[in-house]
Structure 1
Amino acid sequence: MQKRTAQFSVLVWLLLACNAPEAVPPNQPTPVAGQACPDWVHNRHVVRGPDGELYPTWHPQVDPEYGCYFDHDHGDDPRTSLANPELPPFGYVGKLAGMPEAHEGFKVFVANRNTRNDEDRVALTSTRIVAHMGTGGVRRYSVRQHSLMFDLVAPSGHRVSVQGMADTGLVGSICQRDLTLGDADPSNDIGRTVMTLPGTGCHGNSPGSLYEIWAFRLRLADKVEVVASTAVFDPITTMNPANLSELHYTEQVFSGFSGLRGCDREAYHGPVYWYNRNGPEIFYTDAFGRPGGPIRQLVSRHDDVGIWMSQRSDGFQNQFKLISKHCAPGLGLKN
């Protein structure tokens, strides 16, 4: 009996030791649960990219080991995705493109097959979006291309696992967007629809509700085109169309809104267009989708202008919309 008790005590000690927080590095501050994490805690969340280098990656907003929090979030846990459960290397595509992207802006959206959304639609495929979309700064008003990773797995055998710098079109208000999309001229299409200062858009001095949505288009070597849209209901900043470098916090521009942190989001997964009937399924491109670069792309052998990605009693759609809420205490103004 004493031997069993001793063995049990040793087992408990081993379990506690395995789950114990790692020692604080010399000359570094000690993390405190419920407070902001020191930088060194954040810097532990890395993954090795395709080039063998280490890159920052997804992490929960509250560090699971120390209980301290980060001032930004990255959305859904990519490890829950049935399309691709690997941790994404944030910044890999931007590095190849020579276009560094702020770490806080990387957001993950997971939609697994059979998920039901707020419109009573059911996902028919499993998809994952990793998009660079933050609302805390003004650089997004002038930068048109942003990195996108997109994964899709369908029961029909359709599959996509691609990444690159996606085109997000021009920037403007929602009323400008509707006008440009209806004029049959694709060169002036607004893909980044943002909040603008009162009197410069179509919402007047009181918008009623806030909304910012981006349309990402990624075309790779004429084999596939992925369309995905990501949106926030609480954008942190608002644009001045006359001066894109001016910083205006939305909660100061429009009365009745406070605590906006770009954390109340949704995404439109799809549509996807296949032009790869004769393969190969695996090919390589540069960061802008041109053939012959270092980025490994996977596109199944299909030739289909979209597939059904969601279903409701009144019909099918070639995209799936899903709300994703990640608001929590401690989020800052760069999220």
Structure 2
Amino acid sequence: MNPTTWGASRTKYGVARRRAITLGCALAVLLGAIVAVPAPAMAVAQQRVTVEATVGTDRQVTVTLACAAAKTCSGKLALKLSTGGTATLAYSVKARGSQTLNWKISTAHYRAFTKRGTATLSIAGTATKPNTAKFTHRATVKPAQPQFALARTNYTIEANRSLPLQLTCAAAAGCAGTVQLKLGSSVLTQANARGKKGTHTVHLTLSTAQVVALKTTATKYTAVVTETKPDAVQHATTLQLKKAAPKPDPEPEPPVRGASKAYAERNWTPTAYDSCPAALHASYQTIGPDGKIYPTWHPAQVTNPATGELCTFGHEHGADPRSSQLFDWVAAFYAPDDLVAGEPVGLPFGYTSEELENYGHEHGGMAMRHEDNGGHKVFVANDVKMLDAHRSWLRLSDGSQLVCSFLIKQHQGSWSPDATSNNAHESLYAARCNDGTEIITSILTRFGNANEMFGTCAPDTAIPTVGSVLPAGDGGRRIIPTTDCVRANPTDWTLYELWESDSKITAPDGTVLAAFDPWFGIRNPSRMYDASASTATTNGISRPLDLAWYAENPAADYLWAGLNHVERFDYTDPRSPFTGAQRDFYLGELQLAPTPDTTGIVYSDPYGGAAKTKRTVGAIQQLIRPGSVLGTVQLSRQKFDAKADYGSNNGVHAPN
């Protein structure tokens, strides 16, 4: 902590209970009421030390030193806690100024301290200016105690989805902090809490989907109170929640759900290699924000309820989104306002493309873009410790680690010529961090320019392609293996396909409200760009699998090992190792700016542009809330799922 006055220090840390004792000599320690002690004739009491009597969950032992002399006071304080831990703090205080020194004890020492319930803080001081003196003092410190408490544990969710929590503040100087409602490890909603001594009501607002999903008896709902004033303390209370009694009016008829194009026209149909029926695949559905039915995530292999036996779909959608700490939060965000009990919620595949068609009809000048079902892939990263551009851990104001969780859905087909020319692919990007950062976006991400790609052997040289009518990009690129490159050197790196995004949500005047740039890699794509097979109107591709059976120098290492001794088979055969199911991803920048609306909600076009606070036809709702740390800070890129294979022994094959 930077030097500050005593008063400012107390305000920042919420210190309302300090005790001090004045010692004679050049340096005196205060704890409790100030008691004058006769000073030796040669030592003038020019310096004073105040010790905070409580230690919060931030693990800070706080010492404030004041200099009453007309010259600088300096020296050292040696601190020792009886339950474990020592530190030496140097001080240099300007004349008639003050300086606050913090000693953050280790987690283990704090645990021992709180288990004991009290500790003796021994202070040995050596003053060098304005005169020399030594002193010792023993003070008692105790763990900070919660001052906010829930007045009761049984609550009813009101008809407007509000949860009125009653908090009682016991501190004379008032209390402040935040309250989170959690279900298991998932944060459902949160609000700030602040007030004078007494009882206050804090209103938490739940989403429609969260209220619909509310159980009659819910023992896993907890209210987590994180206090910042008068001390840093966190505590949790189990809640019993129930819904408000329904009105006596008759229940309305369930809404009639129409089918999206992704569900009705772009859904999956079995091939000769697949054993699951199309109707079973169609049962994996969710209701999107527009009230339409969309396909969503499912396992690559399931039990067919009609036969009781395992069957395969032949394609996969990546990580199970339910393994993400953000799933309930994101699923609720994409649920329609008229959702009724029993209707499914999840990640709607093809929602952005559906809105693109609506936006295009209203505004004109936008080419339609609908993608195949199998290309939708999910990526999950929980509790990621964030690094700045210098690879240093980012921390909160209390010194704790900045941690974020991510849930991403990216359409990334790796079997057809589509991505050799088309740069726009549907993305869903959600992140939530313990500094308050929150973002949920759905856009068509442009990976570089249309009619342009890059090859693995020359990743900085653009390769012109043809056929796309999609808009130009503003960053990023698609690095796709080329036949010449892989044929000359068939290795894991020449075959590695990498899509680098550069996504933004911008206001009508061009102001960037959110910028994020995850990358997506494929280690076993089933296609390579083939210039020799391309024409003036088409983009040619070839199959990595076929390199195993070339008459001259067949590929025999890495994924091709052993294939040249097998009778040739088609690239769609499940025996092929080139399925596009071995994927990894990279997290990079996450920069957010405040939106015009304090809720963080804006409505952009399907490409993330022209974001406004009011919805228009075809506009997509985006959530952008900067945190206390993340904003304009530069982040390091981190890689995940380096060995992930979502097509292992589950019937997955190209096209996937």
TM range (shorter): 0.7 to 0.9
Q: What's 1:28 paired with? A: none
2:331 equivalent to 1:81? no
Q: How does 1:29-68 map to 2 (within 5 A)?
A: 36-66=275-305, 67-68=310-311
Closer/same/farther in 2, CA of residues 305 and 318 from structure 1, 3 Å limit: farther
Closer/same/farther in 2, CA of residues 204 and 42 from structure 1, 3 Å limit: closer
1:90 aligned counterpart, secondary structure: coil
Q: Is the 8 A contact 1:35 1:68 kept in 2?
A: yes
How far residue 207 of structure 1 moved from its aligned partner, in angstroms, is 2.9
1:174 to 443, 456, 467: 456
Q: Distance in 2 between matches of 1:82 and 1:307?
A: 24
Q: Is the 8 A contact 1:177 1:190 kept in 2?
A: no
Q: Distance in 2 between matches of 1:138 and 1:123?
A: 41
Kindly tell me the number of residue pairs found equivalent between the two proteins. 283
How far residue 234 of structure 1 moved from its aligned partner, in angstroms, is 0.4
1:265 to 562, 567, 583: 583
Q: What's 1:192 paired with? A: 478
Residue identity opposite 1:236 in structure 2: S
1:251 to 533, 537, 545: 545
Q: Distance in 2 between matches of 1:233 and 1:50?
A: 34
2:351 to 86, 92, 101: 92
How far residue 96 of structure 1 moved from its aligned partner, in angstroms, is 1.9
Residue identity opposite 1:214 in structure 2: W
CA distances 1:227-264 after superposition (whole Å, capped 9, x unpaired): 11111110111111452532311111362325210111
2:426 equivalent to 1:101? no
The share of aligned pairs that are identical, in percent, is 24
Q: Is the 8 A contact 1:307 1:318 kept in 2?
A: no
Residue identity opposite 1:205 in structure 2: A
Q: What's 1:14 paired with? A: none
Q: Distance in 2 between matches of 1:230 and 1:168?
A: 11
Q: Is the 8 A contact 1:215 1:230 kept in 2?
A: yes
Unaligned runs of 5+ in 2: 1-269, 332-345, 357-367, 386-392, 394-400, 463-471, 507-511, 549-554, 561-575
2:396 equivalent to 1:129? no
Q: What's 1:218 paired with? A: 503
Q: Distance in 2 between matches of 1:109 and 1:320?
A: 12
Q: What's 2:380 paired with? A: 110
2:328 equivalent to 1:328? no
Question: TM-score, normalising length from structure 1?
Answer: 0.76
Unaligned runs of 5+ in 1: 1-30, 116-120, 181-185, 309-316
Q: Is the 8 A contact 1:172 1:190 kept in 2?
A: no
More strand by share: 2
Residue identity opposite 2:526 in structure 1: I
Structure number with greater Rg is 2
**Cα root mean square deviation, aligned:** 2.9
Q: Is the 8 A contact 1:224 1:276 kept in 2?
A: no
Q: Distance in 1 between matches of 2:640 and 2:347?
A: 22
Q: Is the 8 A contact 1:81 1:110 kept in 2?
A: yes
CA distances 1:138-169 after superposition (whole Å, capped 9, x unpaired): 11111111111001011111111111011101
Q: Is the 8 A contact 2:456 2:482 kept in 1?
A: no
2:489 to 195, 198, 206: 206
Q: Distance in 1 between matches of 2:516 and 2:290?
A: 24
Q: Is the 8 A contact 1:306 1:318 kept in 2?
A: no
Q: Is the 8 A contact 2:317 2:376 kept in 1?
A: yes
CA distances 1:69-116 after superposition (whole Å, capped 9, x unpaired): 11100000111111334321101111222310111100000000158x
How far residue 134 of structure 1 moved from its aligned partner, in angstroms, is 1.4
2:536 equivalent to 1:297? no
2:436 aligned counterpart, secondary structure: coil
Question: TM-score, normalising length from structure 2?
Answer: 0.40
CA distances 1:185-218 after superposition (whole Å, capped 9, x unpaired): x9897611111012xx4x5612321210101222
1:79 aligned counterpart, secondary structure: helix
